[in-house]
Chain A
Amino acid sequence: MMVLTRIDFIVSVCLFGIGLYAMVMEPNLIKKLIGLNIMETSVYLFFIAMGDVRLGPSTEQWAIAPFAQNIDAAASGKVAMVNPIPSALILTAIVVSVSVTAVALSIAIKLYQHYGTLDLRKMATLKG
């Protein structure tokens, strides 16, 4: 599999799994949020790794945008640059995730004030 040749993608998927596990299995609200942030980080890693365009004729080219740059120049090996778009996207995505975390933490604080605990199992007032 070509996927396995890129360590950054494997790490990204592993991080995604760890984050998802923490989010689903941990009963503590703060740990859930940490899991959420780990998941988001895995996506950032994926994007940033994808922007790495080392276009040499011998380089393994999995997940390198085929249309992003002039293909003729790439074939002659003259172009070797980092794709700037993923970095720009991730700047935006970080802002988004900071806002999600801020809203979530403020709700968690409110919940703590009401219940005196951060354990989600002890605050189940909603019926299935």
Chain B
Amino acid sequence: MQSSGSHLQVLIPVSYILSAFISPLLYKWARKCYNVLIPLITGAIFIASGVLFYKVLSSPVGFLEYFPGFSWSGERFLATGQPIGIVLRTDIFGALLVLLITGVGFLVSIYSFRYIAHEASEERIGYYYTLLFLMLAGMSGVPLTGDCFNFYVFLEVASISSYALVAFPGKEQSLEAAFKYMLVGAIGSILIVFAIGLLFSATGTLNMAYASQQVAKIVTSSPDSPLYNYRHLIFASVGLFVIGFSIKSAFFPAHAWLADAHPVAPSSISAMLSGLMIKATGVFLLIRFLFTVFGFHKGYYGQMLTPVFLVVAVATVIGGSLFAIAQTNLKRMLAYSTIAQMGYILIGISLLTKAGLEGSILHIVNHTITKSLLFLSAGAIIYKTGVKDIKGMARMGYRMPLTMSCFAIGAFSMVGLPPLSGFMSKWALAEASLEANFPLLVVVLLASSLLNAVYYFRVVGLAFFSPAQQGTGTNNSAQAHNSASESGSELPLTMAIPIIVLAAGVILVGLQLNPIMKVIKPAVAVLFR
């Protein structure tokens, strides 16, 4: 096995960590060009991850393996064939996620300058970027690594900085939400470490690829072989991993923390948390462990996980949508919508088929772009008008036409209107569930699309089609004309550009589905190997 690693696998998280520590210094010494330096750093990392993505795609085996450090004897394997040391192993799915993380991170880092100055005092911007970069370092490290304990460290780096970021505005609400988020997140993390311990005690390795070989040996062993005794360790480990990652990705019984933490965070951070955090630390790792490490698609375990997962997924989808309808706060509604969308992703995973997983990954891509767009637009509305309630959205489409148009694009994609990306992934999931003989799931998907339509169309309808509060039609058109002429100064450019780019992304993903499926299909093939 030759090492085909790329130094970028190490450089992406490391450069985030380095820039985290120089960010307060830059803010102190180079405040004039701070607004240029930060996007330069994040942009460079985004380009680097693009190069890494291309390298992973063009590698014949579908992944890159990088061995950092060295061993004294110069060997990477023990006599038993066990790899020594930490390995960074990035497959196509991981590289795709890193591309999304660095891309949205780039846009959010541009967006944050004006927004954070509005939400917290301007003096603290340097520290805000420290936390943001640490979170990005953790999140981008998780998909890059191939080591069970290394991913845990990255996960904790991301989690701890996200606890601090939720508390960043320093208001009562945000502190309380951060504390609750921290408690639940810590329980999830502890369960994950426990599961790592069980996996390690059964397989004797932390290397994911090697562990998966040992897991296959153990679960397929005959009752008279000595390995048979280790099977209960594997089962306990699967259970703890599944519960831990379910807490991290806010599936139904453990969803409450998300609805508290995501809305009260600064909107830029809500976009990061909702768009990326729950995927990098939750669903991505769930997929990585279920398929790459434990090999659920190979049928070792029968179908025991599918019914449990399907019940949880349907409860998450329907429950999240129903709760979202009841909300009066716009960002809280978006948070409940995130919970519902995580249910969709779980539906695709629980089918344990290739088609289902393709639908899930497509939905991860869509939801990342769309939900970041929605939260950034909600943040722009708060920045400009201070409106947080859905009721206050009346005629917002005339006061902030650009933002609301982008919001509407995101909302339509979430509901699943045909040319947009949301429709494509829902279609893929529906096809996959028909293929796997679960026709009832299509009903669930349809029902929840209708529920989505109820709460998203309410906002869009209020913003564009609510009657004018006072005055006649002429007054109305004069108002519209007035705000249209002002639309240039609707938002600061640094806030408008990320929103427009993300809205364009939503449309592009919907229109250019084939190139994306050409990436996702081999990614799933590598996971199913």
Contacts and interface: CB of A to CB of B under 8 A. Distances in A.
Interface of A: 2, 16, 20, 23, 29, 32, 36, 39-40, 43, 46-47, 50, 62-68, 70-71, 85-86, 89, 92-93, 96, 99-100, 103-104, 107-108, 110-111, 114-115, 120, 123-126, 128
Given A39-B190, A66-B226, A126-B173, A96 B156 contact: yes
Contacts of B21: none
Interface of B: 79-80, 82, 149, 152-153, 156, 160, 163-164, 167, 170, 172-173, 175-180, 182-183, 186-187, 189-190, 193-194, 197, 200-206, 214, 226-227, 229-230, 233, 256, 260, 264
Given A40-B190, A107-B178, 16 more contacts: A16-B194, A36-B183, A36-B187, A43-B190, A50-B197, A50-B200, A65-B204, A68-B82, A71-B80, A89-B206, A96-B156, A100-B156, A100-B160, A104-B179, A107-B175, A123-B176
Main secondary structure on A side of the interface with B? helix
B186 A100 contact: yes
B186 A85 contact: no
A56 to B, nearest CB: 15
Contacts of A89: 149, 206
Main secondary structure on B side of the interface with A? helix
A100 B180 CA distance: 13
17 contacts: A23-B187, A29-B179, A32-B183, A39-B186, A39-B190, A63-B233, A66-B226, A67-B214, A68-B205, A70-B80, A93-B152, A96-B160, A104-B182, A115-B172, A120-B179, A124-B176, A125-B172
B229 A62 contact: yes
Nearest to A115: B172
Contacts of B163: 100, 103-104, 107
B430 to A, nearest CB: 32
B79 A70 contact: yes
A114 B178 CA distance: 14
Contacts of B179: 29, 104, 107-108, 111, 120
A1 to B, nearest CB: 9
Contacts of A103: 160, 163-164, 182
B356 to A, nearest CB: 32
Contact of B167 (A63, A85, A110): A110
B155 to A, nearest CB: 9
Contacts of A29: 179
Contact of B177 (A47, A70, A93, A126): A126
Contacts of A126: 173, 176-177, 180, 260, 264
Contacts of B226: 66
Contacts of A62: 229
Given A67-B205, A103-B160, A114 B175 contact: yes
